[in-house]
Chain A
Amino acid sequence: MGAIEFDKLPHIGESVKRKEDYRFLTGAGNYTDDITLANQAACVFVRSPHAHAKINRIDISKAKAAEGVVGVLTGDDVAADKINGLPCGWLITSVDGQPMKEPPHPILAQGKVRHVGDPVVMIVAETLTQAKNAAELVEIDYDVLPAVVSARDAAKPGAPALHDIAPDNHCYKWAIGDKAAVDAVFAKAAHVTRLDLYNNRLVPNAMEPRSAIGAYSRASDEYTLYVANQNPHVERLLMTAFVMGLPEHKVRVIAPDVGGGFGSKIYLYSEDVCLTWAAKKLNRAIKWTAERSESFLTDAHGRDHHSHAELAMDKDGKFLGLRVHTDANLGAYLSTFATAVPTILYATLLAGQYTTPLVYVEVDAWFTNTTPVDAYRGAGRPEATYLLERIVSRAAWEMGLGQDEIRKRNFITTFPYQTPVALQYDVGDYHACMDSAQKLADVAGYAARKAASEAKGLKRGIGYSSYIEACGIAPSNIAGALGARAGLFECGEIRVHPTGSVTVFTGSHSHGQGHETTFAQVVAARLGIPVENVDVVHGDTGRVPFGMGTYGSRSISVGGAAIMKALDKIENKAKKIAAHLLEAADTDIDFAGGEFTVRGTDKKIAFGAVALTAYVPHNYPLDKLEPGLNETAFYDPTNFTFPAGTYICEVEVNPQTGETRVDRFTAVDDFGTIINPMIVEGQVHGGIVQGLGQALLENCVYDENGQLVTGSFMDYAMPRADDFPTFKLGTVCTPCTHNPLGTKGCGEAGAIGSPPALINAVLDALAPLGVKDIDMPASPSRVWQAIQNAKA
C-alpha cells in the first residue's frame, strides 16, 4: 500500500487517546527500578572524584568484610575474566585515510581514571544501605594528573593526554565537500559573513534515572538484563558479541517502561555490563539505579561544539558557498555513537533548506577529561541548524535584508534535490512553511507589539529559524560504507489471533512517544478493526524477533514501515484464505474496511472469520497454504526522511536586568503524513522546550580541574512550567516519497529548530544597543554583560 491510499484510511490523522496512559496515570507503570526479582541484591559504584588520575592502589579488603557485602569487583576482576571494553558503533576515517583513534573503554577503570564519575569499584550487598556503607570503606590511592576540559584546550600542544594511542587527544579529522571549489567561490563573493559560536554542552536528564537489573539462571545458563534503554536488541548485540563474548540466545534484554531517553538511553553503559557479568559471578540478581547526581556525571552528554563558519554571498544575498570548521568535544571515551554525531549527522545537514551550491565542512574531534558526549535529542542536526540559522540571520542583518527575505531568496524549490553534502532531499515545501509560520505568528502585527514593548522600556526582537533535519538513518549499506557498524533496518511482527485481534511486536521502543497507540492505529486502519483490538509489544528481546530501537525520530518511518510490510504479507495471505472460502480466484479478492469481497459480486467475508479459519483450518487450502496468520517483516529504508519547518520566536528583553522572556513562539513543521496529531503536537511541545531550554537556561559547566559545577537540579537550570508561554503550532504536509506511510518523524524537530530562533530574537532585540553576538544560554547575566560590553 502506498502513502496516498494509507493517508485516507480511518484512524489515520485521528487524535486517538493513548492506550498506555491508564497504567501511567494510576501508578501501574513498570519502570526498571519498580521491579524486584527473587534473590535480588543491591549495587553501588565507587566512582572517580578526579577528572584525571593514575590509580596506584585499590584496597577493597575492608569493604569486602563489611556487613551484608556479597561481592566487590574491580578492573582487575574485569581483566581476569577477559571482559572487553565498550565498543564504538561508528568508525570515522580521517582525511588522511587513517581510522579514528579508538582507545579502550574499560567497564571498570584499569590503572587510570579519565573523568569525574568514571566507575572504579563495583559493590554488591544485600541492601542498598549496606552497599553504600561498604563503598565508604574502599581506599583508592590516586596520583592526580592535570586535566583538560574543552576541545579547544585539548588541541593545544602540550595539553594533558588522556590516552596512550592518542597523545595529542585527537580522535579524527574528518571533512566533506570540495574545499578548492569552496575557497574559489569565497574569493569572488560580494559579501562574506563570519561567525564563531559555541554550541553549549547539555545534560539529557530524562526524568527516570538510568537503572538496570542483571540476573542469571544456573538452571538454563541464561542471563536476563532489565535496563532503561531505547534499543534492547542493540544493547544485547553490543554486549554479547563485542564485550562479553556470550551467545545471543542466552541473553535476554528487557527494556520495560522507560521514563524518557532523549538519546541518553541508546548506549551500552559500563553499569549494564557489570551487572550482567556480576550476576553470574555472584549468582545473584543485582539492581543498580542511578542517583540524579550519578546521572549528571555518567549519562552521555550532548552537543559541545566550537565552530567557525563563513557564508559567501552575491550582491543580492544569494548564497554561493559555506565553509565551516568545528572542534567537537567527545569527552573521555567514545560512547556508542559519539563519532557519528559531529560528522555524518551534522555536516550533511549544513546545506539546510538552501540552494547553497558549495559547502565544505572540516571537523576535528577531541578527547577531554569530561563525561562522554553522544547523541542527544537531535544529535548533530541541532548543532548544524544552530550554526546555519545563526549565520543566515547574521547575513540578513549585514546585507540589510529581512530574516525572512534572505531565507526565501535561497530556499530549495525543486525536488528531489541533491545537496553538496551527500544527502538527497526527496520532497518539501519550504516557502509554504515560512508563509504559514508568518501568518500564524502574526508577523504583520509585530511592529505594534514592538512599539508597545518599547513604551514599557523593553526591547522586543523577532528571530527566525528554517530548519531541516534527517530522520531514519538509511540505507544500511550506505551507512555501512560511511562507517556504521550496525544495520539500520527495523523489524515488525503481526500476530493475528484466532478471533481477529492482533498483537504487534516491534523492534522500535517507546519511552514516551506513544507507540502503543500510534502503531495500533496503523494496524487498525489497515485491517479495519478497532484500535482497542490491537496491542503493541516492544522492549523485550525475548518476545520481539529483532530490532534496532528508537532514536533519530525513526520509529514510525522505519518501524512503522516494517509493520506495513508485515501487514502486506498478512493481507496477501488472508486474501488467499478468503478466496478459498468465497470460492473465487485470489486475484478477484478486494480487502477494505475489514471485509474481503469478490470483485463484481456481493460475496464477502469479515477479517475475523478469515483469521479464525487460519487457525481452525477445516475448510482450508492446506495443500497450498500453511495455517496460521502471523507474519514478520524487516524494512530497510532507501533514504533518510527530511522533516523541515520554520520557527518564529518573539522575545522581550529587559535591558536593565538582562532578563529575556519568550513572549510568542510559532512552529510550522512538515512531518509528512501525521497519524496521531495529538501525539505529534506533544512531541513538538517537548522538543521546543528542550531547545529553548538550551538557548535560555541549560548549561553544563566544568571548572578548569574537570569538576562538574552543574551537577544537580540545584545548579543546572531545567525548564519549568512557568519558563515559557503556550506555543502556536501549524503543519504543512508533503508526504515522504519513499516509505509506505508518507511519514517523516517528529521527535526531535522542536529541539533542532528552536535554539537559533530564540538567539536570533535576542540579537534582533539587542541590535539597537549594539550587541552583535551572544552564546547560549542567553542567561540574564550574559545578556546584561553583552549590553554593557556594547556600551563600552
Chain B
Amino acid sequence: MQVQLQVNGRSVSIEAADNTLLVQALRENLKLTGTHVGCDTAQCGACTVLVDGNAVKSCNVLLAQMAGRSVTTIEGLAAADGTMHPMQAAFKDCHGLQCGFCTTGMVMSAVDLVHRHPGADEAQIRKQLEGNLCRCTGYQNIVRAVQQGAAAMAK
C-alpha cells in the first residue's frame, strides 16, 4: 500500500502494510518519535496528533485513512527556527510536564482544545483533557498551562 499525505507541511509518500496504524507510520516509517505509545486501548492519548487541525489518537486510525489528509505532529508545532508554539512555551513556563512522555500528546490535545473552546474555564479544560493521561503532574500545572497557552494563542 502506498499512501500520500501531508506531514508537518511536507508531502510524503509512505509504503506500508495495509494494517499499518498512523502512529506506526509516524514512528517507524518517518522516524517522528515524538508521538508516543502509552497504551493499547486508545485511553492514554500519548499518541495524539492533529489531522486537518483536529486532535486524533494516532493509535486508533489507519495510515490508509490518512490519504490526502494533513497531519501535524509535535515535531511540526514549533516555528521553523525552533521557537516553541505558545502552548509549548506555556507548558514550560507553568511546569506542565515532568517525565515528558505524555506531554507531546497532551500539548497537541491542548492546541485542539483551545481551537474548539477558546474561552474554556478550569472545569471545561479538565473535562476536555479527560482523554489524556498523565501520571506525573497531577494535572494542576497542565490546566494552568492550557489557560496560559490559550491566552497567548489569542494574541
Contacts and interface: CB of A to CB of B under 8 A. Distances in A.
Interface in B50-86: 73-75, 77-78, 82, 84
Interface in A7-42: 15, 17-18, 20-29, 31, 33-34, 36
A446 B44 CA distance: 37
A318 interface: no
A312 to B, nearest CB: 37
Contacts of B134: 207, 721
Contact of A722 (B27, B73, B127): B127
A545 interface: no
B88 A20 contact: no
B34 A513 contact: no
Interface residues on A, range: 35 or more
A293 B41 CA distance: 9
Interface string A689-728: 1100000000000000000000011100011111010110
Interface string B114-153: 0000000011011101101111111111110000000000
Task: State the main secondary structure of chain B at its contact with A.
Answer: loop
A683 B138 CA distance: 9
Contacts of A727: 138, 140
Interface string B71-108: 00111011000101000100111010111111110010
Nearest to B28: A36
Given A25-B88, A26-B34, A724-B138, A512 B41 contact: no
A679 interface: yes
Contact of A26 (B41, B77, B95): B77
Interface stretch (A151-159, A257-265, A352-360): A257-265
A364 B148 CA distance: 51
Nearest to B104: A27
B5 interface: no
Given A24-B100, A31-B36, A721-B129, A726 B44 contact: no
B47 to A, nearest CB: 11
A292 B99 contact: no
A27 B135 CA distance: 18
Interface in A177-215: 205-209
A165 interface: no
A259 B101 contact: yes
B43 interface: yes
B84 A713 contact: no
Contact of B129 (A29, A685, A690, A720): A720
A113 interface: no
A26 B36 CA distance: 12
A482 interface: no
B107 A721 contact: no
Given A22-B92, A292-B38, A27 B136 contact: no
Given A27-B33, A689-B138, A292 B39 contact: yes
A721 B135 contact: no
A177 to B, nearest CB: 36
B138 to A, nearest CB: 3
Contacts of A291: 40
B84 A22 contact: yes
Contact of B92 (A18, A208, A209, A258): A18
Given A31-B36, A712-B39, A207 B99 contact: yes
B34 A27 contact: yes
B22 interface: no
A39 to B, nearest CB: 16
Contacts of B32: 27
Interface residues of B, number: 56
B75 A27 contact: yes
Contacts of B132: 721
B43 A26 contact: no
Nearest to B98: A512
Contacts of B98: 260, 512-514, 682-683, 686
A208 B101 contact: yes
B130 A29 contact: no
B111 interface: no
Given A26-B78, A207-B102, A208-B99, A17 B93 contact: yes
Given A34-B33, A720-B130, A690 B143 contact: no
Contact of B142 (A23, A27, A721): A721
A18 B147 CA distance: 20
Contacts of A258: 99
Given A17-B93, A721-B142, A722-B126, A686 B100 contact: no
Contacts of A36: 31
B7 interface: no
Contact of A714 (B43, B99, B107): B43
A381 interface: no
Given A260-B136, A721-B126, A31 B101 contact: yes
B88 A712 contact: no
Contact of A24 (B27, B43, B78, B103): B103
A686 B138 contact: yes
A687 B140 CA distance: 12
A681 B95 CA distance: 9
A18 B93 CA distance: 9
A284 B55 CA distance: 38
B116 to A, nearest CB: 16
Contacts of A209: 37-38
A21 B97 contact: yes
A511 interface: yes
A46 B64 CA distance: 30
B153 to A, nearest CB: 15
A689 B98 CA distance: 14
Contacts of A726: 122, 140, 143
Interface in B8-44: 17, 27, 31-41, 43-44
Given A27-B35, A718-B133, A724-B139, A713 B46 contact: no
B81 to A, nearest CB: 12
A205 B99 CA distance: 13
Contacts of B103: 24-25
A678 interface: yes
Interface string A723-744: 0101100000000000000000
B88 A26 contact: yes
Contacts of B38: 207-209, 259, 292
Contacts of A33: 33, 36-37
Given A292-B41, A511-B99, A682 B104 contact: no
A657 B132 CA distance: 27
Contacts of B78: 26
Contacts of A690: 135, 138
A688 interface: yes
A605 B149 CA distance: 45
Given A26-B74, A259-B101, A714-B41, A207 B46 contact: yes
A207 B135 contact: yes
A713 B136 contact: no
Contacts of A207: 36, 38, 44, 46, 99, 101-102, 133-136
B135 A713 contact: no
Interface in A620-636: none
B35 to A, nearest CB: 7
A25 B132 CA distance: 15
19 contacts: A21-B91, A25-B92, A25-B104, A26-B84, A260-B101, A292-B39, A511-B99, A512-B136, A513-B98, A682-B95, A682-B141, A689-B138, A720-B129, A721-B134, A721-B142, A726-B122, A726-B140, A726-B143, A727-B138
Given A15-B95, A514-B98, 17 more contacts: A21-B92, A24-B99, A36-B31, A207-B36, A207-B44, A259-B99, A292-B38, A292-B39, A512-B100, A685-B137, A690-B135, A712-B39, A712-B41, A712-B43, A720-B130, A721-B142, A722-B130
Interface of B: 17, 27, 31-41, 43-44, 46, 73-75, 77-78, 82, 84, 88, 91-93, 95, 97-104, 107, 122-123, 125-127, 129-130, 132-143
Q: Which 7 A-B pairs have the closest CB atoms?
A: A27-B34, A259-B101, A24-B100, A512-B99, A685-B138, A512-B98, A713-B43
